[in-house]
Chain A
Amino acid sequence: MRISLTVNGEEHTADDVWPGESLLYVLRERLGLPGSKNACEQGECGSCTVYLDDVLVCACLVAAGQAAGRSVRTVEGLAAKGGLDPVQRTFVAAGAVQCGFCTPGLVVAAHDLLRRTPNPSDAEIREALAGNLCRCTGYETILDAVRAAAAELAR
């Protein structure tokens, strides 16, 4: 089947999509946007977190057909070309990035949190990121990064 959708503000069309394909597969393998990661492909790890019409979803759990005609925003579209969103900047500065496979999902989830809750408590950060697994950092530097991004946005 043919699917048209908007990704990061650009119209895209994918042909010969098998009905069982996920939005994640279409983004990664058909549209050349591998930033959303394929870590568990079952909605457990949050590495493929994207915005679907402004709502946070695991792209692996969205059938490609469900995204037809809708708007998707991925980690690649978080900042203007060449720039960095404050969340991206603080993740690098705080050492919250190691192997980095969880990073795109965490960055998008943290971005969404700070959009909804500009000055989150630690408990609110932990709750918002509960759906994102990281195996390298132990999460402490990720909490530091989100706190720093919140502070930067408040300035």
Chain B
Amino acid sequence: MSTASQAPAAPVTSTRGGVGESPPRPDGILKVRGEFAYSSDLWADDMLWGTTLRSPHPYARIRRIDVSQALTVAGVYAVLTSDDVPGSPLFGLEHRDQPVLATGVVRYQGEPVAIVAADHPETARRAAHRITVDYEVLEPVTDAEAAVSQPAVAAIHPGGNLVRHVRIRHGEHAEDATAPVVVTGRYEVGMQDQAFLGPESGLAVPAEDGGVRLYVATQWLHVDQRQIAAALDMQPDRVRITLAGVGGAFGAREDLSMQIHACLLALHTGKPVKMVYNREESFFGHVHRHPATLYYEHGAERDGRLVYVRTRIYLDGGAYASTTSAVAGNAATLGVGPYDVPNVSVDCYGAYTNNPPCGAMRGFGAVQACFGYESQMDKLAHALGMDPVELRVRNAVAEGSVMPTGQVVDSAAPVAELLRRVAAKPMPPALPAEGAPDLRELPGGVSNTTHGEGVRRGIGYAVGIKNVCFSEGFDDYSTARVRLEVIAGEPVALVHTAAAEVGQGLVTLLGQIVRSELGVQRVTVAPADTTIGSAGSSSASRQSYMTGGAVRAACEAVRSRVVDQAVARFGGRAGDLSLTGGKVISIGRGVLADLADVLGDEAVEETVE
């Protein structure tokens, strides 16, 4: 590039891989070679294996636990129960209601009762089988609707079975509106599982100062740290967590699984302890999507315009609260969908039962409601004799619409246009009319899902609404540190955050942001850990905005200092200078200097919250 002939008003961007491009993942090559270190790949000298004994009953009192036979197994180093938890016996994301290890009662099948450390995972499992637990089995509460609406149903927590009731009334006739066309329905959504591929796993290493280091796959390092430290009765800074490679998350890693257990075993034995769930245990080891029962009544004019929606939604939170409060909030506030409805009545209940605990899974309450209201819209279209897409278009929210919560839709919301474009898409090619179908073209392919029996092809349309970033005004922030320095003659940026890369590509995006903001080619994303402030959770589609925004702000602070240095050397105004392609460029004078020369031996580092 000739600096003399460069058009001063339009500096050429020669930094590749910035925002707007599609650079490869920085961890991609490690991953295709099998060299990327996931949380289950970790190993330490003299390491022990931890395992968990879980309740076989959904609801039972624990009369007695006898670990003596387990301790006699050769190779066993520790067998711990709730008596061995030094700090808070309970943990939880929003409500501290879940025992680290069961204390006197188990409230779901699979609840951890005891943990074992041994020199081989099979030895640990065999020892766990030799723990005797004397249970008094109780009748489980399994129906969420009954759990919160029938007084005769036993309360499985001291405060009762209601985690949260969200009540929304909107419009003058929220509860008593009438309409010429009315459809009602009762809908059920079953439990679903995130089924990330990398099972719950990690390595806890006792630290010399009495603290612990934990290498783990999680979605939010600092919320783990807070809960672990409370259980261990330690200052949070004694619990140093580094993100290990994460094999998918989808909400299932928001809650703790083996974190406290591995730390307890490591501190008790003084040795590194690795825990890895197998697939079956993984299903017991994390929260699921809330099953839901939804009652809807939709009233509309004959032209299809909605007059009212009334709904009651029951979400089964299972034995412990996890994020049930927030999931109920989402299901309620998004409960009528992306439609303009003048009169709305929503009652959404999050319940405790003895079913498996439920919490975050992609969609987070919005999905269950969507199944209800979209089934209703199809039913309403049928009752009206109207095209189901046209009915949705006629009621779609737009900029300026008011949600049932009173929130004004204050930016673009082209729902109607979206529906029209989807409806205009061509139909897929017709299936061959004769002969046996090619298994590979059928749902499930050759995995024996179906050989064509019972398969019907149809076309349906549905639309949903979901929040981006945390919901209901949750105070949200992130933290980022950016360091710019010269390494081997080249300007290099180091980005450090505590944000969890779970496969979504945040590490790629952070590199892009830094390249665009600082005009340097080489960007290193440091491992996420708790030596920097919280980045919040990798959930709710928020990290691009929150941690991406924090990184951008840190870059701006770094750039401002570099530009000041350049002004001091070359004169001119700071506002006229930019960093591009590893150069400091002036609007009026073109390239002033190599960024490496301006930086010299000094590193410029800024941390922004």
**Contacts from A to B (Cβ < 8 Å):** 18, 20-21, 28-29, 32-42, 44-45, 47, 74-76, 78-79, 84, 87-89, 91-93, 95, 97-104, 107, 123, 126-127, 130-131, 133-136
For the complex, is B505 an interface residue (Cβ under 8 Å from A)?
A: yes
Q: Name B197's contact: one of A20, A34, A101, A126 (CB within 8 Å).
A: A101
> Would you mind naming 18 contact pairs between A and B with Cβ atoms under 8 Å apart?
A33-B34, A34-B37, A35-B34, A44-B279, A76-B33, A76-B34, A84-B33, A87-B32, A88-B33, A98-B504, A99-B196, A99-B246, A99-B249, A101-B196, A104-B34, A130-B445, A131-B447, A136-B248
Whole-angstrom distance from the CB of B369 to the nearest CB of chain A? 24
> Do B502 and A41 touch across chains, with their CB atoms under 8 A apart?
no
Given contacts A40-B279, A100-B32, A136-B503, 19 further A-B contacts (CB under 8 A): A28-B41, A34-B40, A35-B34, A37-B197, A38-B199, A39-B198, A45-B197, A75-B34, A84-B33, A92-B29, A95-B25, A98-B503, A99-B197, A99-B198, A100-B28, A100-B245, A104-B34, A130-B447, A135-B250
Q: With a CB–CB cut-off of 8 A, which chain B residues contact A39? A: 197-199, 247, 279
Most B CB contacts (10 A, CB to CB) among A38, A89, A95, A130 go to A38
Binary contact track B174-209/A, C-beta < 8 Å → 1, others 0? 000000000000000000001111110000000000
- For the complex, what is the distance from the CA of A127 to the CA of B250, rounded to whole Å? 27
The docked-state distance in angstroms from the alpha carbon of A139 to that of B35 is: 22
Contact A135 B38 (CB under 8 A): no
Within 8 Å of chain A (Cβ to Cβ): is B382? Answer: no
Q: Which of B237-261 contact A (CB under 8 A)?
A: 245-250
A123 to B439, CA, bound (A): 9
Asked if B461 lies at the interface with its beta carbon under 8 angstroms from chain A, I say no
Assembled-state Cα–Cα distance A92/B27 (Å): 9
Inter-chain CA distance A79–B33, complex, in Å, is: 8
Q: Which of B438-478 contact A (CB under 8 A)?
A: 438, 440-441, 445-447
> How far does the alpha carbon of A100 sit from the alpha carbon of B489 in the complex, in Å?
34
Instruction: Judge whether B505 and A130 touch: CB under 8 Å.
Output: no
Which residues on the A side are within 8 Å of B28 (C-beta)? 91-92, 97, 100
* Contact A41–B279 (Cβ < 8 Å): yes
Tell me whether A135 and B196 are in contact (CB under 8 A).
yes
Q: Does B24 contact A (CB under 8 A)?
A: yes
Report the minimum CB–CB distance from B244 to chain A (whole Å): 12
**A74→B34 contact, CB < 8 A:** yes
With A and B bound together, what is the CA distance between A35 and B27 in angstroms?
Answer: 14
Contact A92 B196 (CB under 8 A): no
**Which A residues lie within 8 Å of B43 (CB)?**
29, 32
Asked if B31 is at the interface (CB within 8 A of a chain A CB), the reply is yes
**Which of A32, A40, A100 is within 8 Å of B503, CB to CB?**
A100
Say yes or no: B502 contacts A99, CB within 8 Å.
Answer: yes
Smallest Cβ-Cβ distance to A92: which chain B residue: B28
B22 contacts the other chain (Cβ, under 8 Å)? yes
Our pick among A78, A88, A100, A135 for the contact of B195 (Cβ within 8 Å) is A135
Cβ-neighbour of A37 out of B33, B35, B38, B441 (below 8 A): B38
Beta-carbon contact of B35 and A76 below 8 Å:
yes
Shortest beta-carbon distance, B506 to chain A, in Å? 11
**Which residues of B1-44 have CB atoms within 8 Å of chain A's CB atoms?**
22, 24-25, 27-29, 31-38, 40-41, 43
With beta carbons under 8 angstroms apart, the residue of B36, B249, B441 that contacts A100 is B36
Flag whether B278 is at the interface (Cβ < 8 A).
yes
Complex CA distance for A3 and B588, rounded to whole angstroms: 72
Which residue of chain B lies nearest to A79 when distances are taken between CB atoms in the complex?
A: B33
Q: Which residues of B contact A38 (CB under 8 A)?
A: 40, 199, 276, 278
Which residue of chain A is the closest to B504 with respect to CB atoms? A98
Question: Does any Cβ of A come within 8 Å of B157's Cβ?
Answer: no
Taking CB atoms, residues of chain A closer than 8 Å to B34 are 33-36, 74-76, 104
Type the 1/0 row for B472-507, where 1 means its CB is closer than 8 Å to any CB of A. Answer: 000000000000000000000000000000111100
What's the nearest-Cβ distance from chain B to residue A126, in Å? 5
Nearest CB in chain B: distance from A29 CB, A:
7
| Complex CA–CA separation, A74 to B35 (angstroms) | 12
- Return the chain A residue nearest B49 by Cβ: A29
Most B CB within 10 A of own CB, among A36, A37, A126: A37
- A residues in contact with B36, CB < 8 Å: 100
- Report A136 CB to chain B, min CB distance, Å: 5
Q: List the 6 closest pairs (A to B, CB-CB), nearest first.
A: A35-B34, A99-B503, A101-B247, A100-B31, A34-B41, A75-B34
A15 to chain B, nearest CB (A): 13
Alpha-carbon distance A10/B283, docked complex (angstroms)? 37
Q: Indicate whether B233 reaches chain A with its CB closer than 8 angstroms.
A: no
- Would you call B120 an interface residue if the criterion is a C-beta within 8 Å of the partner chain's C-beta atoms? yes
Q: C-beta contact mask, B267-290 vs A, less than 8 Å → 1, else 0?
A: 000000000101100000000000
* Interface presence of B301 (CB below 8 A): no
* Beta-carbon contact of A84 and B32 below 8 Å: yes
Q: Once the chains are docked, how many angstroms separate the CA of A93 from the CA of B245? A: 21
| Chain A residue with Cβ nearest B29 | A92
Which chain A residues border B198 with CB–CB below 8 Å? 37, 39, 99, 101
Q: What is the distance, in angstroms, from B3's C-beta to the closest C-beta of chain A?
A: 33
* A135 engages B31 (CB within 8 Å): no
The listed residue (A32, A42, A93, A126) touching B279 by CB distance below 8 A is A42
- Min CB distance A22 to B, Å, is 11
